[in-house]
Amino acid sequence: MIGENSLIIAYLSAPKERFFGVLLQLHPSGLIMRGLNLESFNTWIVEVNQGKRGSAISTFFFPWRRVEKLILDEERDGVESLSETFSRRTGKDVLNLLLD
């Protein structure tokens, strides 16, 4: 179930974008999450391995009119989740970094 502090992937429209991060709040007018554009995910891993926090991490508000769907970041059919990929490649917990 998707709720506060869930790791999610948000699919957005106008423009089409995908964001990965932690859901902070579901609000009647939209959602608030802390994370990054999925296109920056591998760069973030490199930055964390270099001892940086990650320049692409921000807190976002997306109005419901832009949200196409929300997907829980979880392993499916043997394919690891983004959070598992992050942990394997950095040795760090993604949720702790996003909430810090």
Under the banding of pLDDT at 50, 70 and 90, the label for residue 81 is: very high
Query: How many CB atoms are located within 10 Å of the residue 47 CB?
Result: 17
pLDDT one-digit tens code per residue, 3-47: 999 999 999 999 999 999 999 999 999 999 999 999 999 999 999
Domain assignment of residue 63, given as a range: 7-99
Q: Domain for residue 89, yes or no?
A: yes
Q: Which of 5, 1, 6, 23 is nearest to 67 (CA)?
A: 23
Domain count, the chain: 1
